[in-house]
Amino acid sequence: MATTAAVADKPSVGLKLAHGFGAAAFGIKNNGFDYFLLLFYGTVIGLEPGLVGLAIMIALVFDAVSDPLVGYWSDNFRSKWGRRHPFMYAAALPVALSYFLLWNPPELSQFGLFLYLTGLAVLIRTFITFYETPSSALIPELSKDYEERTSIQAYRLFFGWSGGNMMSIVMFGVLLTGPLGMMDRDAYATYGIVASLLILAAILVSAMGTHHRIPYLHRPVETGERFTIKRIFREMFETLSEKSFLALFFATVLFSVATGLSAALAFLMLNYFWGFSEFQIFIWTCTVFFSALMGFLIAPWATKRLGKKRATIVLGLLAFTIQPAPVLLRLAGLMPENGDPLLFPLVLGINVVDLALIIAVQAVAYSMIADLVESNQLRTGRRSEGVYYAAMTFTRKVTQGLGVAAAGIILSAIAFPQGAAPESVSTETLWNLGAFYAPSLLAMWLTALFCVSRYRIDKAGHEENLRKLAESDGQQA
């Protein structure tokens, strides 16, 4: 057990900046996979889109095995650099190199391209897990303070959202503006270079910026029991059976499906339902930075005023009723018509505020994971930060894919025409799009908040857990 008493429990702004900046690596990777991978391989390179989807699904299968095992491994790893940092340093170059290769494929047959994409998708997602899970698992160790953990998580989400959004702006505002537009293969190659270097920098800055805390981090407890497959899965099951964890787990599933559905239909809603131009959509993308900054400020403030569970529910009720409101008002004939000069600033302003609330909800909800660590330690005698964060990361990866599938079902149900110009889609079809979109999101968000309400660890409970652990440590000493 490290001598944490000598270390201030309030991390410096510099430490939180360094740790949080590392999340840009995950944000950039996710942004590329969510917005550009299918476009690049399915349209520019010419790989059958179904094979692109299959490659991603195969990578998800590997994630199902690698994510929890990496989390468990980092919980129990012993080295002079502690449990987490060896994984973080080891991931930096492989993640950057494999991400660069992803956007610079050689000339291959369809089957060759499929194998190339599948192999790199598996490598990238595995290597990013080697960084993201141990890095996220540092949050409970950087501070025991109930409110400070939300602040640390808020830094992380700010850089995660900002990193991914910055690459979208670079792509749409700079690289894809040439005569070939989105078909410019060289633009994607340049993107691969820029994104890979930023990923490398983010990981190294985060690892080196938190390196000085290694002497004060926890060490795995020696039990004398040999590591076996049976032991590994028994301990993971014990860790993940915590009732409050299960509440967050199911909430995260629903949050992620809703996020995937919203992202998959975002372009159709902006371009077809609201009739916004490409330039207006670019402005829309740029405003994500303002939402990320507002969410960064709101999350710690709400935690101090309301506590984590109440803050998540209150902010969530605001965010998830605001989000579908413009669509529902349009269906009721209470919004300006498409082309009205008031429409874009009105919908944009609502989105900026709503997205800020959603980011704040994520920051507070994810910080609740950190408070499970001490509860689980009292119950099992182990600190299992890596297992908890790996489970949540994997959940977000898989269920966002379910959101995309849900979007496909909606488009099929309303017979949305493929490749049609916005002005050629009937009013009835657009009305049906909004009628399926808004209620589906509202139902998933509100059900997720109900799951959050089943979480049981508040500030008093967390401080009691810390007291019991300190008492136990004193008795052992």
User: Measured between alpha carbons, how far is residue 319 from residues 153, 311, 434, 446 in Å?
Assistant: 19, 12, 18, 10
Q: Residues 198, 29: contact at Cβ < 8 Å? A: no
Q: Helix or strand or coil: residue 307?
A: coil
Eight-class DSSP state of 103: T
From first to last of the 477 residues of the chain, give the pLDDT tens digit.
444 444 457 889 999 999 999 999 999 998 888 778 877 888 888 888 778 878 887 887 787 778 888 888 998 899 999 999 999 999 999 999 999 999 999 999 999 999 999 999 999 989 999 999 999 999 999 999 999 999 999 999 999 999 999 999 999 889 988 888 878 999 999 999 999 999 999 999 999 999 999 998 888 877 666 767 777 777 777 777 888 989 988 898 888 888 778 877 887 888 889 999 888 988 998 999 999 999 999 999 999 999 999 999 999 999 988 888 899 999 989 999 999 999 999 999 999 999 999 999 989 998 998 999 889 888 888 888 888 888 877 776 666 566 666 777 887 888 888 667 777 888 888 899 899 988 988 898 899 999 999 999 999 999 999 898 888 766 654
pTM: 0.86
Cα torsion 12, 13, 15, 16 to 10°: value is 120
CB burial of residue 419 (10 Å; 0-12, 13-18, 19+):
exposed
Check if the beta carbon of residue 239 is closer than 8 Å to that of residue 381: no
Cβ atoms of 214 and 85 closer than 8 Å: yes
- What residues have CB less than 8 Å from 263, skipping those under 6 apart? 34, 400, 403, 404
Using CA atoms of 52, 54, 59, 63 in order, give the dihedral in degrees to the nearest 10: 130
Give the span between the Cα atoms of 470 and 54, in whole angstroms. 50
C-alpha 469/C-alpha 299 separation (Å) is: 28
